[in-house]
Amino acid sequence: MRRSHYFLPTLKETPAEAEVVSHQLMLRAGMVRQASAGIYSWLPMGYTVLKKIEQIVREEQNEAGAQEVLMPTIQSADLWKQSGRYDDYGKEMLRIEDRHGREMLYGPTNEELITEIFRTSVRSYRDLPRMLYHIQWKFRDEVRPRFGVMRGREFLMKDNYSFDVDFDGAKAAYNKMFVAYLRTFARMGMKAIPMEAESGPIGGDMSHEFIVLADTGESEVFCDREFLDYDVLGSGVDYEDAGRVQDVVDHFTTLYARTDDKHDAAEFEGQVPEARRYHGRGIEVGHIFYFGTKYSEPLGAKVTTQDGGEMAVHMGSYGIGVSRMPAAIIEASHDEKGIIWPEAVAPFHVGLINLRAGDADCDAACEDAYAKLCGARVDTLYDDREERPGVKFAETDLIGLPWQLIVGPRGLKAGTVELKCRATGETEEVSLDSALARLTA
């Protein structure tokens, strides 16, 4: 992408309404714009990041055996009356009336609708287990939408729902999601710690929140620092091997990690040596629940059993705050100059900076580099504008692309360009060919 063509409306000043650094940087880097309180438009760079996050979530869900569907954002109130949640949800639910006077709502979550789909489609225990998920916008009329996309009113969620014949089956599904979540967040360059949590309006009796540690997080958390050293991706996982999946879950659930509503100071101090105690704040990026037959009973989602009987299925639900992720990642990965994107979610891999656009040698070298990078399918943002170098450096640091390839007249005379790593700030002077070889490797 040529910067001169790219819609990247960056801001010089930090908007006064943005309280946390991720919100400030997302606005300054032109990723999102507020449409109304807690509701955002995603601009090209923000949307690219969102799609990359969504794709990692999708791949890990599929890998764990879940299948993707797409349910609508607008739901009928009837199902919610059957489950009993229509009244419970109160003002957080956006209620709508259609032209026929029918009560509708903008879905805050999808337990009811997926249970209805299951009820009308599956009859026998032989068709179980199943995991169905979608990645869809939700609406919750939060009392206090804040911190930009971190706590929005409209937000994108991945929500997965599992159906099993009994508790053991449901626990196996829960375990798979537990491990899939560890992998998903690790692939995004994040350490998300599973913590015992309350289940709130979703209900049920087993629940973990996945928390990214950050001072600006809304959750107060207590955990063992040992979590921070565990290499989830390095340890691979075969989801068919239930014992191995259980081992990973056991490793994480034996160490102390709880949100404040589940915290017990005496247990914390008894279980965790002082040097390993972490008490701080964190961002909830995912939440998983086992709630048994809470929805299948009232909505009549039953299957025939092996002995000819009938039973309500055991269910769980598993959410990831997809549109919260870019903010959570920025909270965990930035410096005073701007964002530092982990490679896997970066909007572009390389920022190619032409220090003197209009100079024949610089233009030729940059065009050559740009063509080669594009040819090798390396996502590149080529800053071809006639702007001062300082403006280009500041913007490229702000938008946080992992690599900067800096081409200027002085270097070219000596046969070199600069290759800068955004995360470490390290710069190397190398030939253009060797820089390209590194970036396309």
Residues that bind ligand 5CA (CB under 6 A): 109, 111, 140, 142, 151-152, 155, 157, 159, 202, 284-287, 317-319, 321, 323-324
- DSSP assigned state of 252: H
Q: Which is nearer to ligand 5CA, 299 or 357 (CB)?
A: 299
Closest by CA position to 122, among listed 134, 114, 111, 112: 114
Q: How far apart are CA 376 and CA 27, in angstroms?
A: 31
Q: Which is nearer to ligand 5CA, 217 or 400 (CB)?
A: 217
Q: How far apart are CB 287 and ligand 5CA at their closest, in Å?
A: 3
- Residue corresponding to tokens 């537990």: 178
Q: How far apart are CB 253 and ligand 5CA at their closest, in Å?
A: 18
Q: How far apart are CB 152 and ligand 5CA at their closest, in Å?
A: 4
Q: How far apart are CB 257 and ligand 5CA at their closest, in Å?
A: 15
Q: Which is nearer to ligand 5CA, 157 or 165 (CB)?
A: 157
DSSP E strand boundaries for 165-308:
192-196, 206-213, 219-224, 257-259, 277-292, 302-304
Closest by CA position to 398, among listed 104, 12, 79: 12
The answer to whether the CB of 345 falls within 8 A of the CB of 408 is no
Other Cβ atoms closer than 10 A to 94: 17
Of all residues in the shown chain, the one whose CB is closest to ligand 5CA is 321
Q: Which is nearer to ligand 5CA, 187 or 392 (CB)?
A: 187
Q: How far apart are CB 285 and ligand 5CA at their closest, in Å?
A: 5
Q: Which is nearer to ligand 5CA, 319 or 411 (CB)?
A: 319
Closest by CA position to 336, among listed 414, 400, 272: 400
Instruction: Give the burial class of 308: count Cβ atoms within 10 A of its Cβ; 0-12 exposed, 13-18 middle, 19 or more buried.
Output: exposed
The answer to whether the CB of 203 falls within 8 A of the CB of 294 is yes
Q: Which is nearer to ligand 5CA, 111 or 384 (CB)?
A: 111
Q: How far apart are CB 305 and ligand 5CA at their closest, in Å?
A: 27
